[in-house]
Amino acid sequence: MLTIHFFEFSPIAENTYVLYNESGDCLIIDPGCYHQAEEQQLKSFITTTKLTPKQLLNTHCHLDHVFGNRFVHETWGLPLYLHLAEKIVLDYAPEAGRRWNLPFKSYEGPLHYFKGGDIIRLGEDELQVIEAPGHSPGHVCFYCEKQAFLIGGDVLFRRSIGRTDLPGGNHQQLLNSIRQKLFVLPDEVRVYPGHGESTTIGFEKRSNPFLQ
């Protein structure tokens, strides 16, 4: 069984997720730690909880979701897993940081690519990769069917959706992704987004003003 822990990091208030099992193995998803104090906060939690990081995953590669990739790689030796279509977004992230006055040193380690339908395994637990482009060209979500939760990145928020005015964004594609990939999941599935509080598929079907 997976336990979900999250941090709100960086001036952009991004949600960084650590998922861990009873054996103490963990996944680090979208590390957004920008300041050194945030890096130490992530490291301290993993150390004091006696976790062993096994994989570094990005839902997508906008700068606020990749600030901490380099730190995670240098600290625990993990290569980065992402969708191939996000490579161009990852490459642009340092320039985006300069434009937003948030300069940072980007990850330069090895890259491994997953695609929709792939399974991320942590011991006996599994996350299914769901392709959900629109906010960015290769955005994915990670779905745990057994525990009915979704690590959703910036696709679907409580009563909102991801922005599509950044390079590679496509509003209609995002709406299609939500309706065709996420709204087909059970209503009770809890969505843990890249910003803000969690929600459920059922609540967003009923209440999200962008999807009525």
Burial of 151 (0-12, 13-18, 19+ CB in 10 A): buried
> CA angle 139-129-81, nearest 5°?
70
Q: Give the mean pLDDT of 7-33.
A: 98
List pLDDT tens digits, range 152-206: 999 999 999 999 999 899 999 999 999 999 999 999 999 999 999 999 999 999 9
- Residue 48's CB is within 10 A of a number of other CB atoms, namely 8
Q: Do 30 and 159 form a contact (C-beta atoms < 8 A)?
A: no
Q: Give the mean pLDDT of 112-137.
A: 98
Average pLDDT of the chain is 97
Q: Give the mean pLDDT of 23-37.
A: 98
Contacts of 149 (CB under 8 A, 6+ apart): 4, 143, 189, 190, 191, 192
For residue 208, CA distances in Å to 12, 41, 134, 154, 183 come to 23, 34, 17, 15, 12
Give the pLDDT band (50/70/90) at residue 60.
Answer: very high
List pLDDT tens digits, range 84-96: 999 999 999 999 9
Give the pLDDT band (50/70/90) at residue 212.
Answer: confident
CATH class of 3-207: alpha beta
Burial 81-100 (b: 16+ CB within 10 A, else e): bbbebbeebbebbbebbeee
